[in-house]
């Protein structure tokens, strides 16, 4: 507050000083003291950016009049242009037009000055006259892009059909001008040229950054063109990146519907399984994924899991799967089966189904990793020397990626289940590079049996799901 008051006081003193000098300059000029007049008007201390607009306008008018009378054409022209810009920036559009028009008498062929006049007319609200002047300027200089951009901006409200032909060349000259792209979209959609509008919208989606309003623009595109997959997919991508999984689920549901409508079953499968990553407990989605896979002739979804039946009093610790400790889970389930074999036949049947699923999963994992019997003695020695160092075990594992004992030690060196999930994903990605599809299938089955949701890993898992086809 105090600083604002000090600044205001300084500006007031400066304004008063300038007024005194303007009066002094007038007096010197009337007495024929041309040199003294020039010294007063060109005092470098009088920066118009520090003056109030009214005082700055007085100073510039004084300068323009002085240079005009003394015949200094170039200086007069420059001051008139500065005066016009000051008038325009303060909303004095009529005065700006007068200043620019006076300057034009000195430089009648200056195309940029013609544009400044047209711009001021448009800003004053007289669109038809400004539009006509802009068209005239562009006919004279077709690549004056500031004029074309302003013309496109005006065209949404006035004669859009007359500027359509200008758009392609203008956008090719300015491929990263987001404003020009927005104006082009407005014009195409005003004229119901949807194909062209969609094309420009797709380009603008590529150009915009998050802080430029990308989210809102993509949402707008998806709302206006719900049948256009590109925008829905982009909205999905943004939702996943922001961990807005409810929004992601909604967009996936829409994309499944689109894919089914156009009989694109592979796309429908991809989106359905991405929904499953968000909600692994959905039996409806699990069945739908398997149904689509069956139609396409693919194997059962690796995201199918059989958790312990509802009602089982002791839930086995499924996160043990992430460490390959199947014995704990299988023994737990076997004990429950024996306990409830006579008391609750239905529960025992469900538990048996779960036991068979876990046993099958153990066999799949064992088939993909060699097991302890074939691990050479020297590798055991290295494993012992690595102790529990995650860094040492990581080096050892990637040197021997098929060794189950090394993998198990590596997994156990982590304290966090999410870190173990990331490790499994890295192993699956390496399997993808090596073309080992069965390993990918086994790992995805393992993860889905150990986690309730894999939503936060959706970007990494989606390409792996496609490999399981």
**Two structure tokens written together for 443:** 């790992």
What does the pLDDT read at residue 397?
Answer: 92
CB-count exposure of residue 119 (10 Å: 0-12, 13-18, 19+):
buried
Instruction: Please report which confidence band the pLDDT of residue 310 belongs to, taking 50, 70 and 90 as the band edges.
Output: confident
| CA pair distance 75, 429, nearest whole angstrom | 69
Residues 6 or more apart whose Cβ sits within 8 Å of residue 410: 390, 393, 394, 396, 397, 423
Q: Is the pLDDT of residue 1 over 60?
A: no
Of 52-61, 64-73, 197-206, the least confident: 52-61
Reported as a single tens digit per residue, the pLDDT across 423-447 is 999 999 999 999 999 999 999 999 9
**Two structure tokens written together for 138:** 């562009």
pTM: 0.74
Residues 6 or more apart whose Cβ sits within 8 Å of residue 206: none
- Write down the H helix ranges in 48-89: 53-69, 73-89
Give the chain's radius of gyration (CA, Å).
Answer: 37
What does the pLDDT read at residue 7?
Answer: 44
Q: Is the pLDDT of residue 165 over 60?
A: yes
Write the CATH number of the domain with boundaries 1-108.
Answer: 1.25.40
129 contacts 94 by C-beta, under 8 angstroms: no
**Two structure tokens written together for 434:** 């090596």
Residues 6 or more apart whose Cβ sits within 8 Å of residue 177: 145, 149, 171
138 contacts 151 by C-beta, under 8 angstroms: yes
Cα three-residue angle 272-278-279, rounded to 5 degrees: 85
Q: Say what the alpha-carbon torsion angle 423, 428, 430, 434 is, to the nearest 10 degrees.
A: 160
- Sorted by where each begins, the domain ranges of the chain are 1-108, 137-207, 210-300, 318-368+414-467
Mean pLDDT of 293-299: 91
Reported as a single tens digit per residue, the pLDDT across 68-108 is 877 888 888 988 998 898 899 888 999 999 999 999 989 88
Average pLDDT, the chain: 86
| CA pair distance 235, 239, nearest whole angstrom | 6
* Among the listed residues 273, 195, 288, 290, the one whose alpha carbon sits nearest the alpha carbon of residue 461: 273
The number of angstroms, rounded, from the C-alpha of 77 to the middle of its chain's C-alpha atoms is 46
Q: Is the pLDDT of residue 455 over 80?
A: yes
**Two structure tokens written together for 194:** 């949807």
Domains 1-108 and 210-300 fall in the same CATH topology = yes
> What CA–CA distances, in Å, run from 322 to 52, 307, 336, 401?
71, 15, 22, 16
Reported as a single tens digit per residue, the pLDDT across 364-403 is 898 888 776 677 888 888 888 888 899 999 999 999 888 8
| CA pair distance 137, 391, nearest whole angstrom | 68
| CA pair distance 273, 253, nearest whole angstrom | 11
Cα three-residue angle 10-16-21, rounded to 5 degrees: 125
Mean pLDDT of 452-469: 89
247 contacts 232 by C-beta, under 8 angstroms: no
Yes or no: domain 210-300 corresponds to CATH 2.60.40: no
| CA pair distance 197, 207, nearest whole angstrom | 15
270 contacts 462 by C-beta, under 8 angstroms: yes
What does the pLDDT read at residue 256?
Answer: 95
């Amino acid at each position: 507050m105090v600083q604002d008051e000090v600044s205001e006081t300084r500006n007031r003193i400066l304004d008063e000083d300038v007024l005194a000098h303007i009066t002094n300059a007038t007096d010197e000029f009337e007495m024929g003291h041309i040199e003294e007049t020039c010294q007063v008007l060109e005092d470098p201390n009088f920066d118009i950016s520090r003056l109030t607009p009214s005082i700055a306008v007085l100073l510039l008018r004084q300068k323009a009049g002085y240079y005009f009378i003394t015949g200094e054409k170039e200086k007069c022209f420059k001051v008139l242009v500065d005066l016009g810009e000051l008038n325009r920036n303060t909303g004095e559009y009529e005065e700006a037009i007068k200043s620019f028009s006076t300057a034009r008498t000195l430089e009648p062929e200056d195309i940029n000055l013609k544009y400044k006049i047209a711009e001021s007319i448009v800003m004053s609200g007289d669109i038809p006259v400004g539009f006509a002047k802009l068209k005239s300027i562009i006919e004279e200089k077709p690549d004056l892009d500031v004029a074309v951009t302003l013309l496109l901006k005006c065209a949404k409200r006035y004669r859009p059909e007359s500027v359509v032909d200008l758009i392609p060349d203008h956008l090719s000259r300015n491929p990263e001008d987001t404003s020009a792209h927005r104006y082009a979209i407005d014009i195409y959609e005003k004229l119901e040229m949807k194909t062209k509008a969609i094309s420009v919208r797709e380009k603008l989606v590529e150009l915009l950054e998050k802080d430029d309003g990308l989210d809102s623009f993509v949402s707008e595109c998806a709302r206006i063109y719900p049948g256009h997959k590109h925008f829905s997919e982009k909205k999905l991508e943004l939702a996943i990146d922001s961990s807005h999984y409810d929004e992601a689920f909604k967009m996936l549901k829409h994309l499944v519907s689109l894919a089914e409508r156009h009989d694109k079953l592979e796309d429908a499968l991809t989106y359905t399984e991405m929904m499953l990553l968000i909600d692994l407990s959905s039996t409806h989605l699990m069945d739908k994924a398997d149904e689509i896979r069956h139609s396409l002739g693919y194997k059962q979804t690796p995201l199918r899991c059989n958790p312990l039946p509802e009602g089982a009093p002791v839930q086995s610790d499924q996160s043990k799967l992430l460490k390959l400790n199947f014995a704990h889970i299988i023994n737990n389930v076997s004990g429950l089966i024996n306990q409830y074999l006579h008391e609750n036949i239905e529960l025992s049947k469900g538990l048996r189904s779960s036991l068979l699923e876990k046993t099958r999963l153990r066999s799949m994992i064992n088939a993909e990793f060699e097991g302890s019997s074939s691990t050479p003695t020297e590798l055991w020695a290295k494993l012992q020397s690595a102790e529990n160092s995650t860094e040492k075990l990581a080096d050892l594992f990637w040197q021997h990626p098929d060794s189950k004992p090394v993998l198990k030690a590596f997994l156990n060196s982590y304290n966090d289940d999410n870190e173990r999930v990331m490790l499994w994903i890295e192993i699956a990605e390496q399997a993808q590079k090596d073309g080992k599809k069965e390993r990918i299938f086994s790992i995805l089955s393992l993860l889905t049996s150990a986690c309730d949701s894999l939503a936060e890993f959706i970007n990494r898992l989606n390409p792996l799901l496609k490999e399981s086809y």
